[in-house]
Structure 1
Amino acid sequence: MSASFHDYQGSVTGGEVRDPRKDKVMNTEDRIDSGLDSLKEDEYMAIIEEIDRFKISNQPDMSGYEPEPWKKQVNEDGDTFLHLAIIHEEKYLAGEAIRNSYQDVSYLNQINNLHQTALHLAVITEQQEISQLLLQTGCDPELRDFHGDTPLHIACKQGSLRGVGVIVQYGAKHLPTLLKTVNYDGHTCLHLAAIHGFLAIVERLIQLGADINAQEPCNGRTALHMAVDLQNAELMSLLLKRGADVNRVTYQGYSPCQLTWGRSNLLIQKQLVEVTQKNLQYLPESEEEDGSDSECEYLDEEIYDDCKIGGWRLN
């Protein structure tokens, strides 16, 4: 597989993958210590040597498979060698570890203490070529971290159109499930893109089949309700153009139009009033004031007229 990789200093090498070990030896702390209790230098070098010795065929025999010792190395944060290589953006080492773990889904999908897989970390660090390689070798994009986020959730939250594109292209068979999956806050990928105002991602997700009227399980807001809450006129216009249901109500019975009252952007209100059915344009009438006043008078006269202090009734 021919691909362009960035070296550890950020420069790009073309078809050839640059081996950083052939360069001038760097300070070990600068290269592998991120404050996550990374592997010690002797362990690190031993793993590199073992990767070099390990050879795989195009169709590996996984029967009776015993993981190589370097795959068993885990630090106190639960990070494997692959996790650490991605965290430190050591693309050459990450690529070698992935290629030498072809179809070893147990290792590729191993999670750290934050329930992050290697794919989560590759998306977080914007290393799309590593994300692609992981997906091509069997990494599962449906696994969720401690927030309940899949890698696609993270890409949408970060506004990474390229990150979304890699997952969509190389994890296509998982896409229907990914678009429906909610994180532990009840948000779909579309919700997150809408909340953060990433219009290009919102439009792309809708094109891919995301439910534009999906409701949060906690209060029933749709992306259109969120656009009103955020007072984002551009997002609202995009959602209306793409067919969002203006008459969909929250679990408390409020339409997007009803949520515009009391807010500053009158343009949003005007647009929604024009397309919302009449009974959902205005807020419900409040309880009759006279009734509430009489109830208060009743409470004052009837409930609190028997108070006593020292056996004497209060006037």
Structure 2
Amino acid sequence: MIRLSHHHPFLNVQNHQRQTALHLAVITRQPQLVEKLLKAGADPRLVDNSGNTALHIACKRGSLASFGVITQNCRRHLTTILSSTNYSGHNCLHLASINGYISLVESLVRLGADINAQEQCSGRTSLHLAVDLQNPPLVRCLLSLGANVNCFNYGGFTPYHLTYGRQSEEIRCELYEKTAHELRELPDSESDESDMEEADTPED
């Protein structure tokens, strides 16, 4: 049927959750089907009712095989997809970071994802999210890839500021050494608690 539907609009029909066959192939972990759909003309830019493309789904679920197939077969649209955010304000790199998929984080940055892109809810970068989630390996990974330690979220906090009151001494020490001296002091704010709360890990 896929062969007969080559470049036919049928390939991009969406269900009641606005999922296409491509979304469902990723969700059901069928990378070979993902490849067939893409080669037949399925549009990788289409989003479901949460604003996720098929690549967003692969990053959220840690589907390495589907991730590889999509990124290899969607070079023309890859920059657009990597920079697009879902309705929660997260791009592919944010989703991979939130869910702790370090190999996907590395691959996304190599493919051109902006390592310092801010999610749209509170302006956290992937490094802010890694601190929120208290994930030392992810923090080290992002730092090695060139993440900006002096980047502020919308509340005016650097990743180091988010280590205040958090358990991991390893993360605190790592970021203290790399953060600009003048940015180490916690800024005064009436909204400290709300700006420094943990990442909202659930994703629709």
- Is the TM value for this pair above 0.5? yes
Match of 2:184 among 281, 295, 306: 281
Residue 102 in structure 1 maps to residue 6 in structure 2: yes
AA paired with 1:141?
A: P
Write the distance in 2 (CA, Å) between the matches of 1:145 and 1:231. Answer: 30
**1:284 to partner: Cα distance:** 2.3
Match of 1:150 in 2: 53
Write the distance in 2 (CA, Å) between the matches of 1:182 and 1:197. Answer: 18
Higher Rg? 1
Secondary structure at the counterpart of residue 262 of structure 1 = coil
AA paired with 1:160?
A: S
Write the distance in 1 (CA, Å) between the matches of 2:170 and 2:72. Answer: 38
Runs of 4 or more, structure 1, over 3 Å off, are none
Identify the structure with bigger relative contact order (alpha carbons < 8 Å, sequence gap 6+).
2
* Residues 1-315 of structure 1 mapped to structure 2, 5 A cutoff: 97-104=1-8, 106-285=9-188
Write the distance in 2 (CA, Å) between the matches of 1:191 and 1:154. Answer: 12
The more displaced of 158-167 and 275-284 is 275-284
**1:285 to partner: Cα distance:** 4.8
Write the distance in 2 (CA, Å) between the matches of 1:284 and 1:150. Answer: 37
Q: TM-score of the superposition, structure 1-length normalised?
A: 0.59
Q: TM-score of the superposition, structure 2-length normalised?
A: 0.91
Secondary structure at the counterpart of residue 2 of structure 2 = helix
Equivalent residues of 1:142, 1:174 under 8 A apart: yes
Write the distance in 1 (CA, Å) between the matches of 2:81 and 2:38. Answer: 14
Write the distance in 1 (CA, Å) between the matches of 2:128 and 2:154. Answer: 12
Match of 1:57 in 2: none
Write the distance in 2 (CA, Å) between the matches of 1:171 and 1:251. Answer: 33
Equivalent residues of 2:156, 2:187 under 8 A apart: no
Secondary structure at the counterpart of residue 143 of structure 1 = coil
Write the distance in 1 (CA, Å) between the matches of 2:32 and 2:77. Answer: 19
Alignment length (residue pairs): 190
AA paired with 1:258?
A: H
Equivalent residues of 1:187, 1:216 under 8 A apart: yes
Secondary structure at the counterpart of residue 173 of structure 1 = coil
Aligned residues with identical type, % of pairs: 53
